[in-house]
Amino acid sequence: MNNNPLAARTDLISSFIAMDVLERAQELEAQGVDIIHMELGEPDLPTPEPIKEAALKALHDDDTHYTHSLGKIELREEIARYYWNKYKVSISPDQIIITSGTSPALLLILSILIDPGQNVILPDPCYACYPNFIRFLGGTPLCIPVYEKDGFKFRPATVTENITPLTKAVLVNSPSNPCGTVFTAEDYRALSEAGTNIISDEIYNGLVYEGQEHTILQYTPNAFVLNGFSKLYAMTGWRLGYLIAPRQFIRPMQKIQQNLFICASSFAQEGGIAALRECEVHVEQMRRIYDERRRFVLQRLHEMSIATQVDPTGAFYALANIKAYSNDSYSFAFEIMEKAGVAVTPGIDFGANCEGYIRLSYANSISAIETGLMRLENFLHTYQKR
C-alpha cells in the first residue's frame, strides 16, 4: 500500500530556482541586508497610464463579471489587427483565446497535444518551467543541447534528427529566456519545415534591440503562438495573455478553459485593449530604456571576461559564463547573494547544458544594475584569489 498522501505527479515537478533565489533574498532583506535584484524577469517600469485608466473605468462601470471563455471579442480583434499591422499575418479573432497569463495558455496547448509517454522537443537551456508543464501532463521533455557559440539556437538538422513518432511538438522561445536569443527569418523557416507541431513562445516580442523581429506565423499558419502583456507592457501582475492556434484546435482548448479557468479577468482585458490601441509610444520608450541597460550590462560583462560569445539582442536577460570560477552554478549564485548582496539565477535552473552560467536580468534601474555588477566584479576578484 502506498502511504504517500500526495499524487505521484508532485514528485515530477522541480522547484523554480529563480523563485528560491528571490525568497532567500527577501529573507536577507528582512534582516537588513541590501540586495540588488537581478534574478527575475520583473519589469521595474510602471504599467502605462492608459492601461490603468482603462481598467479603472471598467471597474467603475461594473465590468467585473464573466466574459466569453475565449475572451472579449474587442480584445481578440485588437490582437488580430496587431499581428496584421506588425507582421502582415492574417489571423481571425476566432483563432485566439485570452488567458490569465501565458502559463495557462501553454497548459491548454500541451493538454490537447500530448498523451502520457509522448515527448516535446525543447532547447537546453530553456525557460525553467517548460519541462515541468510537460511532465505534469505525463509527457517527456526531450531536451536538445544548444550552444553558446551558436547563440544558443537550435541547429535545424539536430531537431529533425530527434523527431520520432512519439514527438508531438517543438517548443521554442524567441526572444528567449534565459539567453536573450532572437530568431531570424531563416531560423523560423527551418523550424516550420521540421515536420511536427511548433509551439512558439513570443512573450518577449517587442523587446528586440538589433535586427528584425519575426513571428513563426509569418512562415507557417500551422503553429501555436503564446503571447501576452506581462513583459512588453509591464503588466506581470495583471495576468493577461493569449494564444493563437489553427481553428481546429480552438474548441478543444476552449472546453478546457471553460472547466479549469472559465475566462480571464474582465477588467484586465480592458487594460489589454488600451495597451494595443494607445501604448505604442510607451512601449518604445521602455524598449529604449531596456536597450540602454542591455548595452551597459554587456560592456561590463565583457570587461569582466564573463560575457558569452554571442551578445543577446532581445528580452531583458544576459547569461554570464562563470565556468572559470565554478561548475556549480547553484552554490555559486547563492554565494554571490550571501557575500556580495546580488541576487542572480543559477544556470542549472534552465537545464543541464546551462551549468557553468548565471542569468542576469536587466529589468532593474541602471543605478541598481551598476551597483550590482560592481559588487559582482569585486566578488569575482576575491573568488579568484582562493
Note the pLDDT tens digit of each residue in 338-378: 999 999 999 999 999 999 999 999 999 999 999 999 999 99
Return the SS3 of 290. helix
Note the pLDDT tens digit of each residue in 90-107: 999 999 999 999 999 999
Q: What is the rounded distance in angstroms from the CA atom of residue 333 to the CA atom of residue 355?
A: 11
Through-space distance between the first and last CA atoms of the chain, rounded to whole angstroms: 52
Q: What letter would DSSP give residue 48?
A: P
Angle between helices 102-113 and 247-260 (to 10 degrees): 120
Note the pLDDT tens digit of each residue in 110-139: 999 999 999 999 999 999 999 999 999 999
pLDDT at 385: 43
Stretch 139-153: mean pLDDT: 96
Phi/psi for 360 (5° steps) reads -115, 130
Reported confidence tier of residue 82, pLDDT bands at 50, 70, 90: very high
Q: What is the rounded distance in angstroms from the CA atom of residue 253 to the CA atom of residue 142?
A: 24
Stretch 19-26: mean pLDDT: 95
Evaluate whether 320 touches 178 at the Cβ level (below 8 Å).
Answer: no
Total Cβ atoms within 10 A of residue 221: 15
Residues 6+ apart with CB under 8 A from 274: 50, 51, 53, 54, 55
Asked whether the predicted pLDDT for residue 1 surpasses 60, the reply is no
Asked whether the predicted pLDDT for residue 35 surpasses 50, the reply is yes
When computed from its CA atoms, the radius of gyration of the chain, rounded to whole angstroms, is: 21
The total number of residues shown for the chain amounts to 386
Q: What is the rounded distance in angstroms from the CA atom of residue 213 to the CA atom of residue 211?
A: 7
Residues 6+ apart with CB under 8 A from 316: 41, 43, 180, 204, 207, 231, 290, 293, 294, 361, 362, 363
Evaluate whether 234 touches 43 at the Cβ level (below 8 Å).
Answer: yes
Note the pLDDT tens digit of each residue in 218-263: 999 999 999 999 999 999 999 999 999 999 999 999 999 999 999 9
Kindly state the percentage of the chain with pLDDT values over 90: 92
SS3 content of the chain, % helix, strand, coil (to 5): 45, 15, 40
Stretch 69-73: mean pLDDT: 98
Residues 6+ apart with CB under 8 A from 364: 36, 37, 38, 44, 293, 372
Reported confidence tier of residue 9, pLDDT bands at 50, 70, 90: confident
Domains of the chain: 8-46+281-384 (3.90.1150.10), 49-278 (3.40.640.10)
Upstream peptide bond of 221 is cis (omega within 30 degrees of 0): no
What is the average pLDDT value for the chain, to the nearest integer? 95
Note the pLDDT tens digit of each residue in 157-170: 899 999 999 999 99
pLDDT at 386: 42
